[in-house]
Structure 1
Amino acid sequence: MLLIDRLLTATEQGGLLRSEVAAGLSARQRRLPSRLLFDYRGIRLRQDMARLPQFYSARCESEILAARAGAIAGATGAVTLLELGPRSPEVSRMLVAGLAATLQVYVPVEQSRAALVAGAAAIARHSPRLAIRALVADFASELHLLPARGGRLIALLGGMFGGMAAGERSDVLRRLRDTMEWDDALLVGVDMVDDPQRLVAARTDEFGVNAAFTRNILHVVDREFVATFAPELFDPTVAWNPDLSQLELGLRARCGHRVDIDALDMTVELAAGSEIRTETVATFGHGELESEFTAVDLEIDRMWTDSRGDYALVLVRPPG
């Protein structure tokens, strides 16, 4: 059984996002919310990126699930799987299949209705007896509204965790912790590669797939906010920040120009070389992960890595 639902109305969701976009484009370091990258086209481009030989994280996640899905099921006994921002239909299917012995309800949460429906329908075809409640929602701002019955495994995979800024990660973890019962668990996918060259290479390619993915965020802003960004006037940027142990991605204007954003009643003047941050990719060591989870009263229960130790799935729980 497949049910498509909303937590907030489209108008309420749009209001929250408008405020965030306006604030980001008015900031000294201009930025756009990275979740705008993941409309239906963006998710399809991300799947294309996952097929590139240098884009290791998606393959690592699949490798871990293929080997350890049974162990994850045994460790959690999850009745409900709540997947926040599913990025890969293959990964979702593997996780659902691994939990089949106890799983009764699958709840994917995604802001793109088209991507959500396509992914949920694929799960329904493979698991016809599973109850599926697909939620069109921005989990970053609607965590307090998510289903909160116990026995849940909350999954944050596909690089979602490392794609948040440190403050946003802390806020999301804290709000998730506030909703968790003693028998809930959180499964987080994290990048553990500490080689800047490999990280930069993973986000650059000769076919232009990464570039199309990054530029797509401007197509989304143009469509959703009645803006006049011209994506072809921007070049993607990829840089390693050693102080924050993160890759920083964005767009740099080739020439000076003006952008009108009618839905926000604002104009942005861009000089040649102006940059807009679109995404970060943080990497973690074990100690850094432990500190982030301990700060919000969560404890690492188990950790599974791929064969090279490049990526990990981390299972965390409330203490006690």
Structure 2
Amino acid sequence: MEMIAFLINGTFVFATALIFAALGGLITERAGVINLGLEGFMVSGAFTAGVVTYYAEQAGMAGAAPWIGFLAAPIFTLLFALLHAIASVRFKANQVISGIVVNMLAASSTFFFVKLLFDGAAETPLLQNVFSKVSIPVLSELPFVGVAFFSLYPVTYIAIALAIIIYFIMYRTPLGLRLRAVGEHPGSADTAGVRVNRLRFLAVLAGGMIASLGGATVTLTMNSSFTFHTISGQGFIALAAVIFGRWHPIGAFGAALFFGVAQAVKDQIQVIEAAKHIPNEIFYLLPYVLTLVVLIFTSKKSSSPAALGVPYEPGKR
């Protein structure tokens, strides 16, 4: 039972970054814009969190440093989200290519800035202040559920709350109705007075900023520094979570947890004596193999927004 409790806890830990990124991708794609740039947004967020947290530590703000880095991530990532929005919405460029460019630009530029800021080093210095798990009083002391659900990183609680908030906005408010409308039937939404391209533009910016929190989470919980390999494809796993979750906030949240299980299982299996003879590379393959398997079996059942990837021309309704 104890191992299961730690497995559930580890699932939430590893899934937190994916939840943020999947929710960011969901908002953008629900508005009708393909968000292949999730990887780049996460890289940007991871870089910003690492650098800002480090300099906040040097400035004597040790206790607040992780939060400063976490909140700074969306601000810097706004530049990359703006690039994707201008290219895909304003100039109606191919959205897939635009996302790939964002990924490449984020990876190369952040690597360059790390070398520039830290005298040619390939990574930021190891952070002295990162997030620690927060145990909820009384509840964390309960057998099994205390370890499994009530001793998590503070950003995990934020990710869970954000999923609920986005669900409420998307399905219980006029803004959410408009957002879904521009992704399904932009012509009808335009006729009803919704400024389609403006809403899509803002959705790309919001999605990129939220996805960056996923990258910041990786740096400030599991890595304690930023390197070129910090994200390592997690943005694409988050995109798979959006598809697997059928473009629904709770579905994407559940899919992120599902992929988080693979990471947690990897850590649990590695401590078992019988598994120590298995090469580590096999365990690192698990999340990506699981992603491919899920996409193979769910791609035909997934129904994306009708206007996803289709630029909107106001004169053509």
Give the TM-score range, shorter chain. Answer: under 0.3
Structure having the larger proportion of residues in helix = 2
State the TM-score, normalized to the length of structure 2: 0.23
- TM-score (norm. length: structure 1): 0.23
